[in-house]
Amino acid sequence: MVTTSDPFCSNVSVIVLNYNQAATTVECLDALAHARSELIREIILVDNGSAAEELAILRLRHAQGDFILLEVGENRFFGEGNNIGVDAAGGDYIVFLNNDAFVQPGWIEALSTTMRDPYVAAVGPLFLYPDGRVQEVGALALPTGDVVQVGKGAVWGPDHYDTPCAVDFCSAACLMMRKADFLEVGGFGFEWEPAYYEDADLCFKLRTRCGKVMVNPAARVVHIESKTTSNSQLHLHNISEINRARFVAKWGPWLEARQEHSASDLVPRIELAEANDLDLDQAACGHATPDARVVLYSPYPLTPGGGERVLFELASHFSTLWGTEHVAISTPHRYSTTRLRQIAGTFGFDRVVGTSVPWPEINQEKCAFSVVLGNTILPPTRAFGEYCVYQLQFPFWVPEQEIVERGSWLGAFDEIWVYSEFVRRHVNGLVRHYGLSAPAIRVITPPAVWPDADGGLPWDERRTILSVGRFFAGGHNKRQDVVIEAFRRMVEGGLEGVELALAGAIHPSPAGRARFYELQELAAGLPCTLYPNIGREDLATLYGRSAVLIHAAGFGVDPDEFPESLEHFGITPIEAASFGCIPVVYGQGGPCDVIRTLGCDTAFSTVEECAHIVTALLRDLIGSAALSLHLLQSSQVFSAEAFQSRVDEALHDIGVP
């Protein structure tokens, strides 16, 4: 019997995710209605950018008024879609429920019974196949990344399982937890996109920081296995092995040592109360505020990269000046507050630096100052707010028709900010070429020094050659293939005792994964290790033990014909320099200017020249050690403090109060 004193009464938010499976989702909603419970406060349906005809079905069903429809407008994948749902959740408890999972009567009561234990952080149900066979009663994980689904394929029927028990993890096809715990551990991580291992990772974060993960077989859910991940529109082929390697790197050591763990290793739920309250307060600062005084607009996906680092550095600085609640980071489609916090963490920020507000919800009339990020000579939107700056990364070519239609937009901005003299030259050239009216162009070199870099190992003890950059295909890729070929020539030339490390995030697309596998094949037979989706701490360790960084972006590009395909600035070489790792860069574009500022004459034009420069550095221990120490100091011109000073000067000159 549910009473009003029950902490679960009308206090559970159920989050259902849909992507182009509206008919299945309606079945899921019908099952929820049939298993009606007073424990459920709300059902939040997050549509992850479905086609118009699919969305129309959901809108029609929404007319019944028994769920909240949240239209994201873009496929944010499983983890981020659910993170967005959590932002909208008003309950203290949340349940993630796949749209292909159909709850049975009594399911939520059984889960909530287990969650009453303060030492339990999450609980899942017994999953059944549609024919009634047992699909899964929780799961166990092995140090190899393999997963054992308890009960799958067993001869026993569902009634054999009747006792709640602890497991390694439960599938997020149906998973209950406290909202505070979800925020405490950082939600679903974006490093698993587009899919696989995100729910296992979430459960392990909960296990090691909050409490036990349980399964209660009294909660029954019929689940159509792999219906979501088998959707061909998601292009999920060849991603599982990449994420398995990531999972093994992150959790393998903990799993290897599991015999040393005990219940006392888990943080008692009661002791986390104050920390969770603090995190909820911080999250509240990130609730959508369309009337933000300062808006940073990006038309691009928010994935860690150079442009995003500048965006978040600006957000951090403006949050200090105006307050986080007055600073919005806006994109055409919705992102979660959790996503912003995760990306801020990858750039070294330990606090909320801005609010995620979808562009259609921004109140432009209330804006005092805005920054628009773009990659063409024409901004992606009109200037808005009392003062507006165009942060132009590089003036990519646009069709003549767009010049006719939007050519007047550029002149309405108060200033154009660019990263380097290299970019300024090309902006000026296109302004003259098109006869555009344009404001003053200001070079504000971005922050690139790694915060708290400790210098790493003494240079003469370093035997790693490093390349850092996202793994993706296309005209602006980081050319890790050139790095591999240069290293092969070094090895063939007699260089011994040196390894190559290739680190970076894999672009969440089939082409990005194909590029990663292509590089693996190119490096076969060499002492080379690839570090996909490497974490921040591990990357810092790599920088600190690497002697040389090779940065080959733009290699082979004609600088007159295709300047947009060159590196526009070069944050990675500066990050390396702040650890005393010597950057060797392709001699065109922004990085060439950067290393001159650093006092480093290590630019190359050919693969052979790259191999020669790196080999000479490794053999000149005294000279290279001295250069390494010099870089620790010279790189500080690109510190966050120097960047903030340049931004403050610009704001003063523009007249921003």
What pLDDT score does 5 carry?
A: 67
The rounded mean pLDDT for the chain is 89
Evaluate if residue 310 carries a pLDDT over 70.
yes
Instruction: Find the mean pLDDT for residues 617-639.
Output: 94
Burial of 233 (0-12, 13-18, 19+ CB in 10 A): exposed
What pLDDT score does 276 carry?
A: 39
| Other beta carbons within 10 Å of 43 | 20
Overall pTM > 0.75:
yes
Buried b (16+ CB within 10 A) or exposed e, 462-485: bebbbbbbbbbbeebbbbbbbbbb
| Other beta carbons within 10 Å of 243 | 23
Give the range among 286-300, 315-329, 476-490, 523-537 with minimum mean pLDDT. Answer: 286-300
Residue 79's region, left for phi above 0, alpha for psi from -120 to 50, else beta, is alpha
Give the range among 460-464, 541-545, 567-571 with minimum mean pLDDT. Answer: 567-571
Evaluate if residue 633 carries a pLDDT over 70.
yes
Identity of the amino acid at 197: Y
Interstrand relation of 174-178 and 120-128 (parallel, antiparallel or unpaired):
antiparallel
Calculate what percentage of the chain has a pLDDT beyond 70.
91
What pLDDT score does 233 carry?
A: 46
Evaluate if residue 324 carries a pLDDT over 80.
yes
Secondary structure letter of residue 369 according to DSSP: E
- Which distant-in-sequence residues (6+ apart) come within 8 Å of 578 by Cβ? 448, 449, 450, 453, 631, 632, 635, 636
Note the pLDDT tens digit of each residue in 199-235: 999 999 999 999 999 999 999 999 998 655 444 443 4
Quote the tokens at residue 55: 């969305």
Identity of the amino acid at 14: V
Band (pLDDT 50/70/90 cuts) for residue 476 is: low
Comparison of pLDDT for 64 and 232, the residue scoring more: 64
Evaluate if residue 560 carries a pLDDT over 80.
no
Q: How far apart are CA 437 and CA 456, in angstroms?
A: 48
Helices (H) and strands (E) in the chain, counts: 20, 25
Kindly give the interhelix angle for 607-619 and 480-492, rounded to the nearest 10 degrees. 60
What pLDDT score does 510 carry?
A: 73
Q: How far apart are CA 12 and CA 203, in angstroms?
A: 19
Comparison of pLDDT for 562 and 191, the residue scoring more: 191
What pLDDT score does 236 carry?
A: 42
What pLDDT score does 323 carry?
A: 92
Angle at 648 between CA 407 and CA 327, to 5 degrees: 75
What pLDDT score does 586 carry?
A: 93
Evaluate if residue 11 carries a pLDDT over 80.
yes
Angle at 282 between CA 95 and CA 344, to 5 degrees: 90
What pLDDT score does 4 carry?
A: 55
Interstrand relation of 120-128 and 165-166 (parallel, antiparallel or unpaired):
unpaired
Band (pLDDT 50/70/90 cuts) for residue 279 is: very low
Evaluate if residue 51 carries a pLDDT over 70.
yes
Task: Point out which residues pair with 223 in neighbouring strands.
Answer: 101
Place of tokens 């929404």: 62
Highest mean predicted confidence (pLDDT) among 99-113, 328-342, 437-451: 99-113
Evaluate if residue 526 carries a pLDDT over 60.
yes
Name the percent of the chain in helix, strand, coil, to the closest 5.
Answer: 40, 20, 35
Residue 239's region, left for phi above 0, alpha for psi from -120 to 50, else beta, is alpha
What pLDDT score does 632 carry?
A: 93
Note the pLDDT tens digit of each residue in 364-405: 999 999 999 999 999 999 999 999 999 999 898 889 999 999
Residue 14 three-state SS = strand
Band (pLDDT 50/70/90 cuts) for residue 272 is: very low
Instruction: Find the mean pLDDT for residues 575-585.
Output: 96
What pLDDT score does 269 carry?
A: 44
Quote the tokens at residue 522: 């190119």
Asked whether 79 and 190 are in contact (CB, 8 A), the reply is: yes
Instruction: Find the mean pLDDT for residues 148-168.
Output: 93
Asked whether 379 and 405 are in contact (CB, 8 A), the reply is: no
What pLDDT score does 532 carry?
A: 82
Evaluate if residue 573 carries a pLDDT over 90.
yes
* C-alpha closest to that of 194 among 145, 229, 244, 232: 229
Comparison of pLDDT for 559 and 528, the residue scoring more: 528
Band (pLDDT 50/70/90 cuts) for residue 274 is: very low
- Which distant-in-sequence residues (6+ apart) come within 8 Å of 175 by Cβ? 95, 96, 122, 123, 124, 199, 203
Quote the tokens at residue 57: 């079905």
Identity of the amino acid at 131: D
What pLDDT score does 358 carry?
A: 92
Residue 15 three-state SS = strand
Comparison of pLDDT for 292 and 218, the residue scoring more: 218
What pLDDT score does 375 carry?
A: 92
What pLDDT score does 226 carry?
A: 67
What pLDDT score does 239 carry?
A: 67
Evaluate if residue 50 carries a pLDDT over 70.
yes
Angle at 86 between CA 112 and CA 79, to 5 degrees: 105
What pLDDT score does 266 carry?
A: 46
Instruction: Find the mean pLDDT for residues 84-99.
Output: 97
Band (pLDDT 50/70/90 cuts) for residue 569 is: confident
Place of tokens 């994980």: 141
Instruction: Find the mean pLDDT for residues 458-486.
Output: 88
